[in-house]
Structure 1
Amino acid sequence: MSGAATVPVPGLPAVLRAEFGAWRRSTVSYLPLGGLAFALVSTAMFVSTGPGKTWEDVLGYQNLWAMFVGPVLTVLLAATATRIDTAARGGGTWYRPVKPRHRQFSRFTVLATRSLLLNLLGAGTPLLILGLASSAQRVPMGRAIEAVVVPWVSQLGLLALMLWLARQIPWSAVLGVGLVWTLLGVVNAESSSWAVLPFTWLTRGALPVIGTHANGVALEAHAALAHASPWPSTLLGALLAVPFLLLPRLRLPSPAGAKHRASPRPGLLTPKEAGADGTFAYAQADAPRVLAAVAGVLRGTALIWLCPVTIGLIALWLSWHDPDTSIQLFTLLVLPVGTLALSLIAWSAAGQGWRAIACRTTGTARPALALTGIAVGIAAAMSVVIAFVYLVAGIPVGHAWPLALTGAVVAAMLTSFTLWLSIRVSQSAALVVGIIGILFGVLVGGTTMQQTMWLLIPYSWANYLDMHRMSLTLPLSVAATALFTVGIVRAARKAAEKS
């Protein structure tokens, strides 16, 4: 009797080929385009500041990318890949005879190539455009190449860390850890103890290349970092990947058991008393209450505590800061960040069962409108409440009502836009666009660039409280909200068909 046939275990080359094929045309493949979008907007803003720039200025303008945007988008790469993989249950690969180390190394390799493309587009595009436009100056090719390669190599350790964490904790928690890691790297990049602080390896190497301190100020000629080599910390950042590629998963995924409800659901047919012949007569249940159902879905999300905590933190801040000078805290940071989080949380909660919603008698249009109405209503209400908090803190009524009105209308527009982008494209794309928009909103709204570029950056519109600018931002925001609402209804129908 012959032995049972054994299934051949694929080697590393085969696993690599399969992994590259699995992520072709996925959200992960398109995320590097976020680097290109950032680069184009950043280049336009750099050019708008006027002529007479040197290559030191060009390289120094890469500070925001190297210190924050590049690392955050790399974190998003890892979190998005793991989220897609978990939702698809590995596409069947979890149950294949593949060595875990091979699968883990292949995933890291695929995302590392995407991270290289991300840095090439994000940091290389401005250098290429400005290099072609500055034909009179000699392009420092060595430093230009280092401005792309050093951040990428430094981010390999962060990428491996995020991939390992994403196998243990939810993707939203991974984003939070990645953001904290990045901020710690920026704050401590110039610490004398950098060699024993792993998060500094992410950012320190880029500083002598781009010629700035971590806060973006140009390095002085006598500064130690101005003459330091970027490679010690950069290579340490890359070597950080090794232990996290070798560490096993701490826990196994819990079985996703199906949960059944005994009670009838709205919109379904329910049996009546059995007839004499033993058959059942069915009657239509009560008409479904779409708005209440969508509100019930959102009731169990982080919005329950996130909204009051935000109001409380602003009230606490205003208790020892001048409210008039702190209005930008709300208009340029809290409002756009809050609308981004609100839309992502709303679709995360509702999108999981969107295919099931499409099978109901309501279809998708009414639930989509209900979801949009609730999300926009929360954003507008939060803006009005926070304006009232500023009023109580001491700002004049003449400042409070424009703050409430502009905040509510702009918040509605940003919420509907992010919700539409989350449904139409993906939550990852919405997060990338939101991060880039918020960064440029702060740069434009908080500096003199708002004098010429304020109308081009909607993320800063809540900051403009004079009647001249409000006469443009308010009607444009209302029209955009209506347009995005129509887009949400259409995108929701397509999302149900594709799910």
Structure 2
Amino acid sequence: MLNAIRSEHLKYKRSFAQKMVFAGPCFFALYGIVIQFYIPENAVMPWDLLLGMIFNWWPLLFVPTGTALLAALSENREKKAGGYRVLRAHPIGAHRLWIGRIAVIAYYTFLSTVVLIFAALIAGIVAADGPAPFWKIVRAGLLIWLVATALIPVHLFAAARFGALATVALGLAGLFVGVLAAPEPYWLAVPWSWPLRLMCPVIGVHPNGVHLQPGDPLLSASVIPAGIAVSLLFFAATAALTAVWFAQREVR
């Protein structure tokens, strides 16, 4: 398994995917700083406003589309390398190759999350007022990463089975479906809604970007354990099922 992960990791060196992992978080943090210029003179942006923007736009835009792009780029690299023929010539189980791909994408999305956390802190020091809510930022970033990891096997399967454009289209569709489903009672049935829904009690922002008023049902933290549990079960199930499918697929 470690050999499969190392082999997959080497493919990301000096790639566009690696650049995207670092550039994406910096863009969202920079957006928060730019907003400061539109605030009335002598007014200072509160941390809640800054974090509401960053941690609403991040799961809304980057999580579905970024995961889809990483899956699409991963599949394109494999096709250029011979469509797994070279890798399957070595004594490594096909299911391990697949799990290795999932693990490496999860690693890069985690790395991107770490960059986002530090970028949000820097943006707040520059643009926001008051002490930095460090643990709130860390909690929000890691929670988004944890539940969004469940999307990786789905997008990898879409890329391998239907092509890179299909998984990008799925990511775009997930963007719209996720924001619509997040405030609804059936949000648990839509994986793309999980990061957005869990940010409601953590950051206090509605999935549509509006700050929630005290007493709003969306502020209930009871959704966090449910979201984590469902995402982990979904991830385990989809990773296992897609690994079985990949292992049985005939190499063309």
**TM > 0.5 between the two?**
yes
CA distances 1:428-478 after superposition (whole Å, capped 9, x unpaired): xxxxxxxxxxxxxxxxxxxxxxxxxxxxxxxxxxxxxxxxxxxxxxxxxxx
Give 1:243 deviation, angstroms: 1.7
Task: Give the equivalent residue in structure 1 for 2:219.
Answer: 226
Give 1:65 deviation, angstroms: 1.4
Task: Give the equivalent residue in structure 1 for 2:60.
Answer: 67
Task: Give the equivalent residue in structure 2 for 1:79.
Answer: 72
Give 1:158 deviation, angstroms: 0.8
Aligned to 2:215, the other structure's residue is in SS state: coil
TM-score of the aligned structures, taking structure 1 as reference length: 0.45
Find the aligned partners of 1:241 and 1:163 in 2 and give their Cα distance. Answer: 12
Task: Give the equivalent residue in structure 1 for 2:87.
Answer: 93
**Match 1:187 to one of 180, 195, 205:** 180
- Is it true that 1:55 corresponds to 2:47 in the alignment? yes
Give 1:44 deviation, angstroms: 3.2
Contact kept in structure 1, 2:150 and 2:191, CA below 8 Å: no
Structure 1 residues 177, 27: CA separation in 2 closer, same or farther (over 3 Å shift)?
same
Runs (4+) of structure 1 moved beyond 6 Å?
none
Question: Which structure carries more helix by proportion?
Answer: 2
Find the aligned partners of 2:73 and 2:17 in 1 and give their Cα distance. Answer: 7
**Match 1:246 to one of 232, 240, 250:** 240
CA distances 1:176-231 after superposition (whole Å, capped 9, x unpaired): 11211232111010111223344432421122222111110101101012232434
2:3 aligned partner, one-letter code: A
Contact kept in structure 2, 1:56 and 1:210, CA below 8 Å: yes
2:62 aligned partner, one-letter code: V
2:250 aligned partner, one-letter code: L
Contact kept in structure 2, 1:120 and 1:148, CA below 8 Å: yes
Contact kept in structure 1, 2:136 and 2:202, CA below 8 Å: yes
Find the aligned partners of 2:227 and 2:122 in 1 and give their Cα distance. Answer: 26
Task: Give the equivalent residue in structure 1 for 2:101.
Answer: 107
CA distances 1:139-171 after superposition (whole Å, capped 9, x unpaired): 222211122111111211111211122221110
Structure 1 residues 124, 234: CA separation in 2 closer, same or farther (over 3 Å shift)?
farther
Task: Give the equivalent residue in structure 2 for 1:310.
Answer: none
Give 1:253 deviation, angstroms: 4.1
Give 1:75 deviation, angstroms: 1.4
CA distances 1:75-133 after superposition (whole Å, capped 9, x unpaired): 11111111111122248213222112211111111111111122333454133321365
Task: Give the equivalent residue in structure 2 for 1:119.
Answer: 113
Structure 1 residues 133, 182: CA separation in 2 closer, same or farther (over 3 Å shift)?
closer
**Match 2:21 to one of 32, 53, 76:** 32
Task: Give the equivalent residue in structure 2 for 1:154.
Answer: 147
Find the aligned partners of 1:193 and 1:114 in 2 and give their Cα distance. Answer: 30
Q: Which sections of structure 2, spanning at least 5 residues, go unmatched?
A: none
Contact kept in structure 2, 1:59 and 1:211, CA below 8 Å: no
Find the aligned partners of 2:118 and 2:250 in 1 and give their Cα distance. Answer: 40
- Is it true that 1:210 corresponds to 2:203 in the alignment? yes
Task: Give the equivalent residue in structure 1 for 2:12.
Answer: 23
Contact kept in structure 2, 1:202 and 1:234, CA below 8 Å: no
- Is it true that 1:163 corresponds to 2:152 in the alignment? no
Contact kept in structure 2, 1:147 and 1:206, CA below 8 Å: yes
Bigger relative contact order, structure 1 or 2 (CA pairs below 8 A, ≥6 apart): 2
Find the aligned partners of 2:88 and 2:27 in 1 and give their Cα distance. Answer: 36
Alignment of 1:303-452 (within 5 A): none
Contact kept in structure 1, 2:102 and 2:153, CA below 8 Å: yes
Find the aligned partners of 1:16 and 1:114 in 2 and give their Cα distance. Answer: 12
Find the aligned partners of 1:110 and 1:27 in 2 and give their Cα distance. Answer: 15
Give 1:252 deviation, angstroms: 2.8
Aligned to 1:97, the other structure's residue is in SS state: coil
Aligned to 2:161, the other structure's residue is in SS state: coil
TM-score of the aligned structures, taking structure 2 as reference length: 0.86
Contact kept in structure 1, 2:150 and 2:232, CA below 8 Å: yes
Find the aligned partners of 2:47 and 2:194 in 1 and give their Cα distance. Answer: 25
Find the aligned partners of 1:67 and 1:231 in 2 and give their Cα distance. Answer: 21
RMSD, aligned α-carbons: 2.2
1:55 aligned partner, one-letter code: W
Larger radius of gyration: 1
Find the aligned partners of 1:153 and 1:27 in 2 and give their Cα distance. Answer: 23
Find the aligned partners of 2:190 and 2:16 in 1 and give their Cα distance. Answer: 33
- Is it true that 1:128 corresponds to 2:115 in the alignment? no
Contact kept in structure 1, 2:25 and 2:119, CA below 8 Å: yes
